[in-house]
Amino acid sequence: MYRSHNCGELRMDHLGKEVTLSGWVQIGRDLGGLTFVDLRDRYGITQLVFNMDDKPELCEQARKLGREFVIRVTGTVNERSSKNPNRPTGDIEIIVTSLDILNASQVPPFIIEEETDGGDEIRMKYRYLDIRRSNVQQNLVFRSQLAIQTRSYLSDLGFIEVETPVLIKSTPEGARDFVVPSRMNPGEFYALPQSPQTFKQILMVAGMDKYFQIVKCFRDEDLRADRQPEFTQIDCEMSFVTQEDILNTFEGLTKHVFKALKGIELDDFPRMSYDDAMEKYGSDKPDLRFDMSFVDISDRVKGFDFKVLDDSEYTVAIVAKGAADQYSNKDIKKLTEWMQRPQVGAKGLINIKYLANDEVKSSVGKFYSDEVLNEWKTDVFNAEAGDMVLILTGEKEKTQKQMNVLRLEMADRLGLIKEGDFKPLWVVDFPLLEWDEESERFHAMHHPFTSPKKEDVQRMLNGDHETMKALRADAYDLVLNGSEIGGGSIRIHDRDLQSKNFDLLGFTKEEAEDQFGFLLGAFEYGAPPHGGIAFGFDRLCAVMNGQSSIRDFIAFPKNTSGRDVMINSPSNIAKEQLEELSIALDVKEE
C-alpha cells in the first residue's frame, strides 16, 4: 500500500492515527534536532517531522532528500505547536516512523511553485514539471470540472453526446485543413475536422433532436500567440427550434457553469444587434465591463471651417472619465503615436480636455471655440469636469475599428476593469454575407449553412446583388468580457435555399455537389428546422478565470511553430512509411 490518505486531507480529527502518505518533497528544513519536510501531492501539502533524538538514522536519511524526490512515509498524526492557518492541513504534522524513497529526482530546471523562474520554452519542454505547479494543475482541474458541469447540464435537458468522426473529408472552403494520407486508398486523403458542422446537421436530419459533443477541432492556420492548431469546442445542435430557443438554452448553460464553478449568479444577458455593436463599440464583441461607448459626431463637427472633419465620412468620440488632468501634452503625443502604429493605422488623434478647474483645452481649439466645446460637453458627450474626449475621424469602418482599439486601451489605462467582473452579451442579427471588395465575391459571415432570417428568404432567392448585402441572418455570438466565447445560427434546411447560398458564395454546382452533396441529399429526405451553437472551450476556461491565454488551460499546447517541444513533434518519418502512403517529400529549397 502506498498511502492511507492523500497529502491534503489530514485534520485535527486524525490526531494519534497512524497514516501512510506518498508524494513529492516540496522542501526540507533541517533545524538540528528536528527535520521538517513538506510532502506534496495533487490534494495538498502535509508537514512531516523527523526527530533526531528518536530516530537518528531516519532523520539522517530525511536530511538527504532532494526537492521532488518521491517518498512514502508512515507515521502518527500530531498537533503542530505552531499552526499554519493558510494551509488546510496546517493544524497537524506527521511524526515519521518509516521512510521509503520511491524515486529520486534530479534538481528541476526551474522552481516548482506558483511563481516560477522558468521561461515559456523550458516550462513547455519539461511540461511534466510545469504541471506540478499548483496553478497549472488547478487550471486542468477547472477544465475537467467545466466539462463535467457542461455535460451534466446538457444531458439533463435531453442532449445526447454523439462522437462524430475525426477522419473526414477536405473542404477547401474556410480555413486550411490538416490532411491525412490514406494508405488503403492511394492518392486520397482524409481531413481533420475544423468543426463537426455538417455531421451535427446530419444528426438532426437523422432525428437525434438534441446533440452535443465536447470535441477536438483542427485548423492549419498560422499561429498567433493565442491560437492552437488543435482546440476544443462545446458543439451543439437542436431540432425544431427558433433562435430564441437556442439563446435561452445556452444562456442557461452559461449561467449554470458560472454558478456551479465560480459561485456567481449572472443576470439575464443583454442582447445587441450587430449594427448597434458596431455603432456603439466598433466591434462585434464589445467588452461591457465598462461603458465608454462611441459618440458619433460626424455631423456636429461640420461647418466650423475645419476641412479635415468637414470632408470626413465619419468622426467619432469617446469620453475618458477623469483623464483630462492626468494626460499631459507629452502623454497625448505618445498615445497618438501608439494609435499611428501600422497595426492600428490611425492618422491622428484629436482631444478635448474638460479640466477639473472648468477650463477647456483642445488640440482643435482654433476651429472650435470654448463656448462650442462647453456646449458639447453636456449636450453631446455627457461629460463632466475632469473628463477627456478622444476623437478619431476617417473612413467609417476603419475608424470604428481604430476607436475600438483606443477604447480598450483607455479602459486598461484608466483601470476601468474590475477583477472578477463578468459581463455577457448576445450579439444578434448578423449580416448573412460579407462582400469582399478585393476578391469581388461574397463570404459567409458565419458559415455557408447559416439561414437568412425568415423575412429575408424570398429576397435572397429572388433579389439582386445589392439586396444580398443587406440580408440578415439568424446568427448570434455569445460575448463575455470582450471575448467571443460562442457563436451559432439557425441553419438552412431546404435544398434550394442551400444551393442558392452556395451559388452566392461562388461554388459551382459541381463543387457544391462534390463537397456537400451528402448534405444537399439529406435535405431531400425530411430535414427538420434546426440550429445550433459552438463554444470555444479553451477560451471559456480562460475567460472564466480572468486569464487571457488559452495555453494555460491546455495540458500539452504547441508553440507558435506548431511544435510540441516536449516530445519534439512534428518529426521525420521513415521512407517505408512514405512509400506505404503513396506520397513523397517535395520540400522546396529556400
Residues 210-269 that bind a copy of itself (CB under 8 A): 216, 218, 220, 222-223, 229-230, 232, 240-242
Which range binds a copy of itself by CB under 8 A, 90-98, 431-439, 445-453, 573-581? Answer: 573-581
The phi and psi torsions of 18 (rounded to 5 degrees) equal -85, 125
Q: Which is nearer to a copy of itself, 264 or 581 (CB)?
A: 581
Q: Which is nearer to a copy of itself, 144 or 378 (CB)?
A: 144
CB neighbours of 257 closer than 8 A, spacing ≥ 6? 146, 149, 150, 153, 540, 544
* Interface with a copy of itself, residue 574, by CB under 8 A: yes
CA-to-CA distance for 149 and 155, rounded, in angstroms?
10
Least distance from C-beta 341 to a copy of itself, angstroms? 26
User: 134-153 mask for a copy of itself (x: CB under 8 A)?
Assistant: ---x--xx-xx--xx--x--
Which range binds a copy of itself by CB under 8 A, 443-451, 476-484, 499-507, 570-578? Answer: 570-578
Least distance from C-beta 525 to a copy of itself, angstroms? 5
* Interface with a copy of itself, residue 556, by CB under 8 A: yes
Least distance from C-beta 255 to a copy of itself, angstroms? 21
* Interface with a copy of itself, residue 415, by CB under 8 A: no
User: 153-172 mask for a copy of itself (x: CB under 8 A)?
Assistant: --x----xxxxxxxxxxx-x
* Interface with a copy of itself, residue 518, by CB under 8 A: yes
Q: Of 560, 551, 458, 474, give the one whose Cα is nearest residue 231.
A: 551
Q: Of 134, 247, 251, give the one whose Cα is nearest residue 490.
A: 247
Contact 297, 319 (CB under 8 A): no
Q: Which is nearer to a copy of itself, 85 or 128 (CB)?
A: 128
92-121: contacts with a copy of itself (CB under 8 A): 102-106, 108
CA-to-CA distance for 508 and 99, rounded, in angstroms?
74
Count of positions on this chain that bind a copy of itself (CB under 8 A): 126
Q: Of 195, 194, 167, 171, give the one whose Cα is nearest residue 183.
A: 167
Provide DSSP, 204-225. Answer: HHTT--EEEEEEEEE---PPPT
Q: Which is nearer to a copy of itself, 147 or 414 (CB)?
A: 147
Least distance from C-beta 377 to a copy of itself, angstroms? 50
Q: Which is nearer to a copy of itself, 151 or 443 (CB)?
A: 151
Contact 101, 65 (CB under 8 A): yes
273-312: contacts with a copy of itself (CB under 8 A): none
CA-to-CA distance for 47 and 28, rounded, in angstroms?
10
* Interface with a copy of itself, residue 580, by CB under 8 A: yes
* Interface with a copy of itself, residue 566, by CB under 8 A: yes
CA-to-CA distance for 236 and 234, rounded, in angstroms?
7
Contact 181, 583 (CB under 8 A): yes
Q: Report the residue from 176, 280, 321, 459 that binds a copy of itself according to the rule CB under 8 A.
A: 176
**Exposure on the CB side of residue 17, measured as CA atoms within 13 A:** 13
* Interface with a copy of itself, residue 186, by CB under 8 A: yes
Q: Which three three-digit cell numbers place residue 282?
A: 466598433
* Interface with a copy of itself, residue 12, by CB under 8 A: no
Q: Which is nearer to a copy of itself, 151 or 453 (CB)?
A: 151
* Interface with a copy of itself, residue 182, by CB under 8 A: yes
Least distance from C-beta 98 to a copy of itself, angstroms? 16
Torsion of CA 396, 398, 403, 409, to 10 degrees: 170
Q: Of 220, 253, 222, 157, give the one whose Cα is nearest residue 537.
A: 253
Question: What three-state secondary structure class fits 512?
Answer: helix
Q: Report the residue from 267, 311, 462, 525 that binds a copy of itself according to the rule CB under 8 A.
A: 525
* Interface with a copy of itself, residue 494, by CB under 8 A: yes
Least distance from C-beta 108 to a copy of itself, angstroms? 6
Q: Which is nearer to a copy of itself, 187 or 420 (CB)?
A: 187
- Which of the 8 DSSP states describes residue 80? -
CB neighbours of 565 closer than 8 A, spacing ≥ 6? 121, 124, 125, 559
Name the residue with cell 448578423.
430
Q: Which is nearer to a copy of itself, 66 or 252 (CB)?
A: 66
* Interface with a copy of itself, residue 189, by CB under 8 A: yes
Least distance from C-beta 31 to a copy of itself, angstroms? 24
Crossing angle for the helix pair 134-156 and 243-262, nearest 10 degrees? 140
Q: How far is CA 422 from CA 215, 258, 478, in A?
A: 26, 10, 13
* Interface with a copy of itself, residue 31, by CB under 8 A: no
Q: What b/e string do you get for 485-498 counting C-beta neighbours within 10 Å, with b at 16 or more?
A: bbbbbbbbbbeebb
328-387: contacts with a copy of itself (CB under 8 A): none
* Interface with a copy of itself, residue 582, by CB under 8 A: yes
Q: Report the residue from 92, 203, 349, 373 that binds a copy of itself according to the rule CB under 8 A.
A: 203
Contact 50, 34 (CB under 8 A): yes
Least distance from C-beta 263 to a copy of itself, angstroms? 19
Q: Report the residue from 205, 324, 479, 534 that binds a copy of itself according to the rule CB under 8 A.
A: 205
Q: Report the residue from 131, 260, 355, 364 that binds a copy of itself according to the rule CB under 8 A.
A: 131
